[in-house]
Amino acid sequence: GSSNIELRTNFKDTADWVPSVWTGANGEASVTVPLPDNLTEWRVTAIGLSDNSQAGMATHSFRAKKDLMVRLGLPQFLVDGDRQRLTATVANDTGKDQDVTVELSATGLTLEGDGKRTLRVPAGEPQVVEINAVAGDPGTASLTATVAIAGGLNDGVKQSFPILAHGRPVLETKAGEGSATAEFPVGKSLDPKVGSLKVTLSPTLAGDLVKALDGLIDFPYGCTEQTMSRFMPSILVAGTVRDLGLPKPKNLEKLPKIVQDSLTRLSRMQHGDGGWGWWEYDESEPFMTALVLDGLDRARAQGYDVSMARPENALNWGVAFLKDKTKKADIRDRLYLIYALLRWGKGEAAQYLNAIDLKDRMEPLYEGSDEKVQRPSSADLATAALAYRQAGKDAAPLLDRLLKKAQVGEEIVTWAPEDGAWGSEPSALALTAFEAIRPNDPLLPKIVQGLMRERQGNGWSSTRDTAYSIVGITSYLNRTKELAGSSTATVIVNGQERGTITLDPSVLDDPNRTIEIPRTELGDGPVSVEIRKTGEGRCYYTFALSGLEVADPLAATATDKGLDIVRKVYKMEAQRLENGEMKLLPSKQPITEFQNGDLVRVELTINSDVPREFVMVEEPTPSSCRVNERTEIDPYEEKAWWWSRTVVRDDRLAFFARNLPKGESKITYNMRAEQAGLASALPGRVENMYDPGRWASSAETKVEVEK
């Protein structure tokens, strides 16, 4: 029966990569490669180099096959509720026609119709078996296909793919230190089966910083800032852990690879003029160049060789930028560049501090705006204080002015988010400045406590303010060596005790310090959480309640009423122009029904009431279509798009724009309809990457493809 058929489950595009092979004296070498389960033609490529610099390359192909084979045609993903036609192709290479029994079974999917059938498969003429499937709950789905000839040959294959949730993810967080109580309201629109409450505890700041690295290391995109926000905090936390004499946590075992990958990426993203922008194809700018130089210098201080990133080219760019009086930059960006150059010993940069106006004044929020903001901002003053200190100038008056902008409480000191310094960035910069200039200030512990209470989950609101927070807190930890005694904490959820956790500061990444409770066990009403701490040690906590807002269909919504995004879908059709020429153009009206093979044009229209920076548009795609767009562009093509970068994933595209102008902006991309069925393109979303609490979302789009 089919249960006795061995299933092929290990599929890879590259069977093996052997970067270094030494031949014997006869010039020959042998390499053993275990093949994955793909039945396909494989190509072996060998590149050789001799001691006297002679080079050569050779290729050889061979085929892995069986006389009876089955191959699945599956989507990259499905959305909960999608209905799609799946295929199994049966190939008969026995040399004669055969009656083949085909069995299909699935988990996470509902198959429509009988999954078992017998069909006649002529020799050398593959036959296709089709079956409709409906995606079940979010998670992982798998389809298993077996084929057999009575009393003879057989084959089997099992492949998996993700099922995405049909809804908008929702996350509510709270953080703090010590015994605490909190309550989370639960909206009626949340799916009662999806999500969880996660309670994470730590006895030391170092433990929280280690947890914060997870989100930075695993962040799915890689602009200049995100590369630095992965690289710089990782090396700083590793140095702090080492200096505190603590064991290396598991996520820092990746550190050598993080360092190598980051330096390689920075080298590739560096512009020809020596500076860096947000992405490869935009203009070099002082903030991003300063951020890289700042991080490279901190890495250099930890003993890393950063020459691969060519910092000398960036230093030359920075000095030239400051010398050029026609170059415009925000106060903070110019100050940050001066600070970074001074860290690298470019003393001539100090002279440009005198030209920066740090007098209090009101300025338009942006050019032409009636709204006024106070300058210099908290971030301006913190950066100025660091630059003044680096230049050997008196920074104390700047710290005094910075403190006047603070929100001072009995237990915490914080600074409010600002335009250009979002989330916890002002508080993080203030901590770094106070730690560098007034390390004995009695307010420092309160600044740290304030920053820790602003956490959202294991990190802060974005990669950028998380990275700056880690910079400030590692500096504080390196000086104070904060390792308090042990304690215990009891976690109570909805009145029920869920566990008592021992908090030992000598252990950084104890998995038992996290308690996760599925949404199905939390009931329908509000969720209450209580921490009862005993002992002299500290207890830093984060509560994160995740859920899924559901509706069918999902309508457009926004947290920022001055921002919206609309998606329209068109079919590309051959249309005759007035001059008689035929051209492929979008249909006159939006449509959502297509034939297999149709070319689809998607148009995103974004409206903004103000100019915005660092904008990301995440655009989910329907499982039935495949995107026909490149992520890399040819030289000089960057002028064809107003956005900076396009990233294509299996289930979505992401567009990144360094600047989004006021008014209407449009993005278009192309897909091809491939899989028959009805699929959901989940809502698109536009936001400032560093101020993710303000966003707008389009409605979902149902796309139907017919065979």
Q: Give pLDDT, residue 324.
A: 96
Residue 705, strand partner residues:
594, 677
- The verdict on 126 and 274 lying in the same domain is no
Domain-terminating residue out of 101, 135, 164: 164
* 211, 544 Cβ separation under 8 angstroms: no
Cα distances from 94 to residues 4, 42, 328, 678, in angstroms, run: 21, 21, 73, 38
Q: Tokens for 276? A: 């860096």
Quote the radius of gyration of the chain (alpha carbons, Å): 29
Backbone angles phi, psi at 239, to 5 degrees: -65, -40
Query: What span, in angstroms and rounded, lies between the C-alpha atoms of 696 and 564?
Result: 5
Residue 456 lies in a domain: yes
Report the alpha-carbon distance of residue 103 to residue 99 in Å, rounded.
Answer: 13
Q: What is the CATH number of the domain that holds 64?
A: 2.60.40.10
In a domain, 627, yes or no: yes
Domain shared by 336 and 452, yes or no: yes
Shared-domain flag, residues 93 and 157: yes
Overall residue count recorded for the chain in this entry: 707
What's the predicted TM-score (pTM) here? 0.91
| 324 and 462 share one domain | yes
Q: What is the pLDDT of residue 636?
A: 66
Q: How many CA atoms lie within 13 A of 341 on its CB side?
A: 30
Peptide bond into 553 cis (omega under 30): yes
Structure tokens at 578: 């007035």
Closest CA to 476 of 446, 505, 507: 446
- Interatomic CA distance for residues 156 and 416, integer angstroms: 60
Residue 509 has a pLDDT of: 83
Per-residue pLDDT at 365: 84
Cβ neighbour number for residue 429 with a 10 Å cutoff: 28
524 in a structural domain: no
Q: How many CB atoms lie within 10 A of CB 640?
A: 8
Residue 45 included in any domain: yes
Closest by Cα among 531, 536, 653, 543 to 604: 653
8 Å CB contact between 542 and 564: no
Question: Sheet of 663-673: strands edge to edge?
Answer: 582-586, 563-576, 599-608, 663-673, 625-627
- 488-516 pLDDT tens trace: 999 999 999 999 999 998 888 888 999 99
- Neighbour tally for 293: CB within 10 Å: 28
What pLDDT is stored for residue 457 in this prediction?
Answer: 86
Total count of domains within the chain:
3
CB 228 within 8 A of CB 270: no
235 and 369 in a single domain? The answer is yes
Q: Please tell me whether residue 665 adopts helix, strand or coil conformation.
A: strand
Distance of CA 433 to the CA centre of its chain: 29
Is 435:240 a contact under the CB 8 Å cutoff?
no
First to last CA, the chain: 33
Q: Are residues 337 and 405 in the same domain?
A: yes
What is the CA 658 to chain-centroid distance, rounded?
17
Same domain, 268 and 353: yes
Report pLDDT digits (tens) over 60-100.
Answer: 999 999 999 999 999 999 999 999 999 999 999 999 999 99
Asked if 573 and 687 sit in the same domain, the reply is yes
Q: Is residue 589 part of a domain?
A: yes
Q: What is the DSSP string of 205-238?
A: HHHHHHHHHHHHHT-S---HHHHHHHHHHHHHHH
249 lies in the same domain as 138: no
Locate 693 and state its tokens. 């609490």
| Contact predicate 654/533, CB 8 Å | no
Residues 116, 64 share a domain = yes
* Average pLDDT per consecutive 10 residues, the chain (707 residues; last block may be shorter): 85 94 91 95 95 92 96 96 96 96 97 94 96 96 96 94 95 94 91 93 91 88 94 94 88 92 96 96 95 97 96 98 95 98 97 96 87 94 98 97 96 95 97 97 96 92 96 94 85 97 89 94 94 93 94 94 97 92 94 96 97 97 94 68 91 96 96 96 97 96 95
Instruction: Name the packing angle between helices 378-390 and 396-404 (round to 10°).
Output: 170
Q: Quick check: is 24 in a domain?
A: yes
Of the residues 480, 496, 529, the one at which a domain ends: 480
93 plus 228 within the same structural domain: no
Residue 94: inside a domain: yes
Query: CATH number of the domain that 434 lies in?
Result: 1.50.10.20
DSSP string, 156-169: EEEEEEEEE-SSEE
pLDDT at 638: 62
Task: Identify the domain containing residue 699 by its residue range.
Answer: 557-706
Residues 403 and 264 in one domain: yes
Q: How far is CA 668 from CA 137, 232, 703, in A?
A: 31, 35, 17
Please check whether residue 432 lies inside any domain of the structure: yes
Check if the beta carbon of residue 143 is closer than 8 Å to that of residue 159: yes
Of 480, 501, 533, which residue constitutes the final position of a domain? 480
Give the DSSP H or E segment for 437.
helix 425-437
Between CA 419 and CA 575 the distance in angstroms is 47
Q: Identify the CATH number of the domain in which residue 636 sits.
A: 2.60.40.740
pLDDT at 27: 87
Q: Look at residue 393 in the predicted model and tell me its pLDDT.
A: 97
CB 450 within 8 A of CB 413: yes
